[in-house]
């Protein structure tokens, strides 16, 4: 690495959770902010630049392998890629089944595959998944194996995925696939001396979450939060703290894992006061 190069942090999805993680691992490094919308990446970059971080931005569509490869080329201009943070995705209320599967499932699988070829030794990756993947019941072993190990370009042709016609189900399958692909790809990342893990947050207070908590379905969301063991939503900083641990020297023995951080909501969904939600999901 020459004098002008730095270790690089690649952040995909420039929202509050991604920024919280980047703040914790980006000091003294170059942060590449990638987002589907250039203006969102630029806005996040201004915030980080004004607090002392070095950044660049790029518009990236993670449902496109060529766009992901372009992101890698851009990042490598500044140095070796040390950290990958994928906080991009679309929710069941934001997109169609096709878009959710293309972005959340296929796109994440491609990111894991391509960044696993270039990640620096002692580097680390974090995939932001969701508690929603933990609300999908046990899958047949064949489906589990296929989600984990099917060649990436064949994933969307799996018959059980092509049969999905509900956006929530598409989201849940995508998030389960994220966790399984992290497990499978950890083997390849490990050969480069790097770790990769997923984090599955519950409801975390961001502008989007605040919209939901004050929108037409606010009573349902607020009831769910009040009945979960923690009695509240999470914050981006709490997700950032967990990611920092996983990406630091303290987390070097953790790879291929998924950490559920939802204030106990999933535990209550299956075995506690939130079991009523199973009737509507």
pLDDT in tens, 97-127: 999 999 999 999 999 999 999 999 999 999 9
pLDDT in tens, 29-39: 999 999 999 99
Condensed to tens digits (0 to 9), the pLDDT of residues 152-208 reads 999 999 999 999 999 999 999 999 999 999 999 999 999 999 999 999 999 999 887
Distances (CA, A) of 182 to 21, 131, 177, 257: 18, 16, 8, 7
Catalytic residue, candidates 83, 106, 171, 269: 171
Q: Residue 4: its pLDDT value, please?
A: 66
Task: Select the more confidently predicted residue: 118 or 4.
Answer: 118
φ/ψ of 106, rounded to 5, equals -65, -45
DSSP letter for each residue of 177-234: HHHHHHHHHHHHHHHTT-EEEEEEE-SB-SHHHHHHHTSTTHHHHHHHHHHSTT-S-B
Is there a catalytic annotation at residue 173? Answer: no
Region of poorest pLDDT, from 76-85, 126-135, 207-216, 219-228: 207-216
Single out the catalytic residue among 82, 106, 175, 269.
175
Residue 223 is among the residues annotated as catalytic for this protein: no
| Whole-number average pLDDT of the chain | 95
Q: The pTM is what?
A: 0.95
pLDDT for the residue 281: 58
């Amino acid at each position: 690495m020459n004098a002008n190069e730095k270790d690089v942090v690649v952040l995909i999805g420039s929202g509050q959770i991604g920024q919280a993680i980047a703040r914790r691992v980006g000091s003294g490094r170059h942060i590449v902010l990638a987002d589907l919308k250039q203006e969102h990446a630029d806005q996040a970059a201004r915030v980080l630049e004004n607090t002392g971080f070095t950044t660049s931005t790029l518009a990236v569509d993670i449902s496109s392998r060529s766009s992901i490869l372009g992101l890698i080329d851009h990042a490598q201009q500044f140095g070796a890629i040390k950290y990958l943070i994928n906080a991009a995705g679309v929710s069941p209320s934001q997109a169609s089944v096709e878009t959710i599967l293309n972005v959340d499932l296929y796109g994440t699988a491609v990111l894991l595959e391509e960044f696993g070829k270039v990640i620096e030794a002692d580097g680390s990756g974090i995939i932001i998944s969701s508690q929603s993947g933990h609300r999908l019941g046990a899958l047949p072993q064949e489906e589990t194996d296929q989600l984990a190990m099917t060649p990436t370009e064949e994933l969307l042709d799996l018959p059980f995925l092509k049969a999905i016609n509900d956006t929530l189900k598409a989201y849940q399958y995508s998030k389960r696939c994220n966790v399984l692909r992290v497990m499978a790809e950890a083997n390849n990342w490990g050969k480069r001396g790097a770790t990769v893990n997923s984090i599955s947050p519950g409801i975390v207070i961001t502008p989007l979450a605040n919209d939901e908590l004050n929108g037409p379905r606010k009573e349902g969301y607020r009831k769910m939060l009040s009945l979960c063991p923690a009695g509240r939503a999470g914050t981006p900083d709490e997700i950032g703290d967990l990611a920092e641990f996983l990406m630091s020297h303290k987390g070097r023995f953790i790879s291929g894992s998924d950490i559920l951080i939802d204030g106990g909501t999933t535990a209550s969904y299956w075995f506690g006061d939130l079991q009523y939600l199973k009737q509507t999901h």
